[in-house]
Amino acid sequence: MHADPAPPVLIDPFQRRIDYLRVSVTDRCDLRCTYCLPKGFKGFEEPANWLSHAEMSRLVGLFVQLGVGKVRLTGGEPLLRRGISELAGKLAALPGLRDLSLSSNGTQLAQHAQALKAAGVQRLNISLDSLDDACFARVTGRDCLGDVLAGLQAAQAAGFAPIKLNMVVQAGVNDADVARMVDFSLQHGFVLRLIEPMPIGDTGRQTQGLDLSRLGQQLARQFGLVPEIKGQGAGPARYWTSANGQSSLGVITPMSQHFCAACNRVRLGVDGTLYLCLGQDDQVPLGRLLRAGASDDELIAAIHAGIASKPERHEFNDQPAKIIRFMSQTGG
């Protein structure tokens, strides 16, 4: 009697197992955050080139067959994509998918939270760069902080827990709001993650960040938090916990202390382009191959070839002008 073969896995040239796929369902967004998209930007992908729900499900299903157990739906703003809950339900039903999550700016969350939970989305990451109305409007281009806070309340009512808040910290813009954000997160049971801006596109290069490794340690002392021995999941954040042992504060430091050695992810753009690194141009046109009639075996071969060329690390510090595409074009 022969034992069943080991399940397939994706291993890159640096022996990193790739088991996490981020899927952009749209490159459109209803905000214009200063570090992401410039005002008046019109270079969005034509909707005719967007993968359909069926095409996305097919490609994601192939990744899951290859050992990817975590999928995150992103954008742009994914809640702008029509039928997002139905797509989430199709993906959640894929055999072998262990974790389905979604990143959002929260403006549309109040009307989608219950449906997303029912569809099988397990976790939410919500962008929130300030609790000050004026600062929020300055960063995002819209005066809609109340909509985001209502969305967070609806998400908690729907049963999402914990909810992670992502705050991109900009020197001289919202850095004075960080302590208030920590206090807000502790009061409401959120996990706050402070993120250093990356030089992706002109907007990213024009954004001045801070060394968040140092700031995280200062905040931990201020709020009586202790380092978490093992961060949540295999992600890039380093966490501190509150007295009850719950993760409360994390920092993501692609600039001051990069985490490329543990990278376990790739990204699928709304047109099916497979991006192998945020800070490199390596990519595979899976969507174009799919629409040209490629079989599943041919698509799997293309995925393997892409993973075999995944670069070792980004070069944000060495070549900050290298990536000209904007963050929304890659997928959050």
pLDDT attached to residue 39: 75
pLDDT the model gives residue 61: 98
User: Residue 42 has what pLDDT?
Assistant: 77
Q: What is the pLDDT of residue 142?
A: 96
Residue carrying structure tokens 């074009």? 329
Tens digit of pLDDT at every position of the chain (332 positions) = 444 455 578 999 999 999 999 999 999 999 998 888 777 777 788 999 999 999 999 999 999 999 999 999 999 999 999 999 999 999 999 999 999 999 999 999 999 999 999 999 999 999 999 999 999 999 999 999 999 999 999 999 999 999 999 999 999 999 999 999 999 999 999 999 999 887 555 554 455 668 888 899 999 999 999 998 764 445 678 899 998 888 899 998 876 666 688 889 999 999 999 999 877 778 999 999 999 999 999 999 999 999 999 988 765 555 544 444 555 556 65
The SS3 assignment for 100 reads: strand
pLDDT of residue 324: 47
pTM for this entry:
0.90
DSSP state of 143: -
What Å distances lie between residue 179 and 17, 29, 77, 128, 163, CA to CA?
36, 28, 27, 14, 18
Give Cα 85 distance to the centre of its chain: 18
Sheet of 123-127, strands arranged across? 226-227, 238-241, 247-252, 191-195, 164-168, 123-127, 99-104, 70-74, 20-24, 265-268, 273-275, 283-285
**What structural domains and CATH numbers belong to the chain?**
16-330 (3.20.20.70)
Length of the chain: 332
